[in-house]
Amino acid sequence: MRDWVLGLTVVTGTGEVLELNGDLFKNNTGYDLRGLVCGSEGTLAIITAATLKLTDPLPPAIRVVCGLADSSGIGDLLAAVRGRYPGVGLFEYFSGLCLDVVVRHTGARPPFPTRYPGYVIFEVAGDAGAPNDALIDWLGELTAAGRIVDAVVGRSIDQGRELLGLRESISATLSKYYTLHKNDIAVPVQRMGSFLSEIETFVAQAYPTAHCALFGHVADGNIHVNILKPDGVSTPEFTARAHAVDADLFALVRAARGTISAEHGVGLLKRDFLHFTRSQAEIEILRGIKRIFDPHGILNPGKIFAAEAKVTPAR
Amino acid sequence: MRDWVLGLTVVTGTGEVLELNGDLFKNNTGYDLRGLVCGSEGTLAIITAATLKLTDPLPPAIRVVCGLADSSGIGDLLAAVRGRYPGVGLFEYFSGLCLDVVVRHTGARPPFPTRYPGYVIFEVAGDAGAPNDALIDWLGELTAAGRIVDAVVGRSIDQGRELLGLRESISATLSKYYTLHKNDIAVPVQRMGSFLSEIETFVAQAYPTAHCALFGHVADGNIHVNILKPDGVSTPEFTARAHAVDADLFALVRAARGTISAEHGVGLLKRDFLHFTRSQAEIEILRGIKRIFDPHGILNPGKIFAAEAKVTPAR
């Protein structure tokens, strides 16, 4: 997101109003405080105005959904699609359970008569309504080579929208119908190939009685792990279990040089795990920066890291 | 540039080695120290390794050079080109003198038989070798409407390269053959229309005996102003004059909510002018951040802002 923020107006913890970067595309005069405030979760300053950089409308796209036997070939599949369609944007994975949930609760039509363990949706530039024989032939080759099990191509704008809807409905449907424990992890893109199946294996072992709905932005190395609370387990019991398992999950993330939070932030829920992604030396610097912007500790105290101990002067 | 930096390894002024962001595309765990170090001119930490995000090769492009009667319509011309060719990337202005210099010293072929006060080069996606009647018709309409005076389209890869060479040779040719006073300013893109001609007028008045070679990245709001030292004026005399004029130039930049340095940085040359772009409250925060990374003031001291006064303990 911070790539799209040109400028911010903010108020610091001492009441200073700062105009950070105005509406400038380029500005190399000292440190980038605008970027520092982006993602600071309200702990450095309160944002009162923002200038965003808008993009040109995306060119028309053809959407393709593939059924997969498992997630282990996901990195190679991304490389293959990018090799053939440079500039490919959307490339998303979702597990079989995600599609089950969407089909069950939204009445969406499944893309294939058969249910597969995982799916990918990607987008290539082009006119969905025009003949796309080369694309279809190539998907046939991928199928014949066992890299995908089946594929469906949106042949109109409506069909493309319906296919994307399968992916886009996952998050809202899960939140509406289930009690969830959510994680939002990321690893370097080149590690996604092995990491996605590693996480699937880990989760299956750590939560033998719970279902896991897993989806992610493969091209960003980002995976959303959603554990569904099983029936018959109380929410506090489930949360305690999830908290304990998180430490093991984050150890895997750290070993893969990943992050415990790709998009969601740290807040309170991930605060005790910050050291899995940031070193102690970094955390000291973060705290120092916090003190500069907010010397009295009044801005969202206790978020990201524990509030500073207040020294009460002796009377 | 910082948009393309995924991760940095840095050493702070206390000798701490920090791995900032690894190779992650997304990471929302605390403040973005990687972005903070980018553009910090060696004052916060020494960068020992960087991971950069590479892009797919750009699609083939058609290059167009237009001759202009003056620079006042540049903002409208950019809007017209973008309206017709969404996603247009390159869109650069250069003054007549820039082309004169390139033609004189590199032997490049001028794009038109007539010399114009200013030029624009832009790029639209497409195959330069294929017929481009629609583009050529549209350029004819712009000419008939008086928005440009003439246009030439690169009809092959070689011709396109030759046209781009006119723009790309400017900086090196100026530096090789002339003593220059350089500025690198930017304003919000929407102000470029009036600002470019405002700067041209200002420079002509401020330097009545010097030539000015002006070129810029119009789509970024960024203008490079190069004053050529006149013959018969000593370099110290020229530099003193330029320094005095810079304060007036930067007042114009500030009035347009711009920056005194879009790309080059602050260093020593622009240090005394930092307050034209950053407020006093911001500069205090920058200094505070410097103290956190480099409490002993050993990293590139005196760059961006004056070094902290050292307190020598009494013996």
Nearest by Cα to A139 from A68, A35, A90, A221? A68
Does A56 or A14 have the greater pLDDT score?
A14
Give the closest-approach CA distance of B84 to chain A in angstroms: 11
Tokens of B168: 């790309």
**Tens digit of each residue's pLDDT (9 = 90 or more) over B20-54:** 999 999 999 999 999 999 999 999 999 999 999 88
Looking at chain A, the whole-number percentage of residues with pLDDT higher than 70 is 97
Tokens of B40: 């910090």
User: What is the pLDDT, as a whole number, of residue B313?
Assistant: 54
Q: What is the mean pLDDT of residues A31-45?
A: 97
| Cα atoms in the 13 Å half-sphere on the side-chain side of B284 | 10
B26 vs A contacts (CB less than 8 Å): 186, 217, 220-222, 259, 262-263
User: What is the pLDDT, as a whole number, of residue A56?
Assistant: 73
Identify the closest residue of chain B to A40 by CA–CA distance.
B31
User: What is the pLDDT, as a whole number, of residue A26?
Assistant: 94
Q: What is the mean pLDDT of residues A147-173?
A: 96
pLDDT band at B1 (very low <50, low <70, confident <90, very high): low
Across the interface, whether the CB atoms of B190 and A30 are under 8 A apart is answered no
Q: Would you call B279 an interface residue with chain A, using a CB distance cutoff of 8 Å?
A: yes
Would you say residue B309 has pLDDT above 70?
no
B286 vs A contacts (CB less than 8 Å): 30-31, 33
| Integer Cα distance of B151 and B156 in angstroms | 16
Compute the C-alpha angle B244/B249/B254, nearest 5°: 125
| Integer Cα distance of A90 and B92 in angstroms | 31
Q: Would you call A257 an interface residue with chain B, using a CB distance cutoff of 8 Å?
A: yes
ipTM rounded to 2 decimals? 0.91
Question: Going by C-beta distance under 8 Å and a sequence separation of 6 or more, which residues neighbour residue B148?
Answer: B66, B67, B68, B77, B120, B139, B142
Least confident of A112-116, B72-76, B281-285: B72-76
Q: Would you call A54 an interface residue with chain B, using a CB distance cutoff of 8 Å?
A: no
**Tens digit of each residue's pLDDT (9 = 90 or more) over B57-95:** 777 799 999 999 999 999 999 999 999 988 787 999 999
> Three-state SS string across A89-105, please?
CCEEEEEHHHHHHHHHH
User: What is the pLDDT, as a whole number, of residue B36?
Assistant: 97
* Among B residues 59-98, those touching chain A with beta carbons less than 8 Å apart: 59, 82, 86-87
Across the interface, whether the CB atoms of B262 and A27 are under 8 A apart is answered yes
Phi, psi of A281 (to 5 degrees): -65, -40
The span from the first CA to the last CA of chain A, in angstroms, equals: 48
| Integer Cα distance of B245 and B249 in angstroms | 6
Q: Annotate chain A with DSSP letters as a single string.
A: -GGGEEEEEEEETT--EEEESTT-S---SS--HHHHHTTSTTSSEEEEEEEE---PPPPPEEEEEEEES-STTHHHHHHHHHHHSTT---EEEEEHHHHHHHHHHH-PPPSSSS--SEEEEEEEES-TTS--HHHHHHHHHHHHTTS-SEEEE--SHHHHHHHHHHHHTHHHHHHHH--EEEEEEE--GGGHHHHHHHHHHHHHHH-TTSEEEEEEEGGGTEEEEEEEPPTTS-HHHHHHHHHHHHHHHHHHHHHTT-BSBSSS--TTTTGGGGGGTS-HHHHHHHHHHHHHH-TT--SSTTSSSPPPPP-PPP-
**Tens digit of each residue's pLDDT (9 = 90 or more) over B109-151:** 999 999 999 999 999 988 988 889 999 999 999 999 999 999 9
User: What is the pLDDT, as a whole number, of residue A221?
Assistant: 94
Integer-rounded Cα Rg, in Å, for chain A is 22
Tokens of A246: 């998180």
**Tens digit of each residue's pLDDT (9 = 90 or more) over A197-221:** 899 999 999 999 999 999 999 999 9
pLDDT band at B315 (very low <50, low <70, confident <90, very high): low
Choose among A24, A40, A259: nearest Cβ to B31.
A40
| Integer Cα distance of B188 and B60 in angstroms | 29
| Integer Cα distance of A284 and A69 in angstroms | 46
Would you say residue A8 has pLDDT above 60?
yes
Q: Would you call A57 an interface residue with chain B, using a CB distance cutoff of 8 Å?
A: yes
Q: What is the mean pLDDT of residues A8-31?
A: 96
What does pTM read for this prediction? 0.92
Identify the closest residue of chain B to A14 by CA–CA distance.
B281
Mean pLDDT of chain B: 93
Q: What is the mean pLDDT of residues B203-232?
A: 94
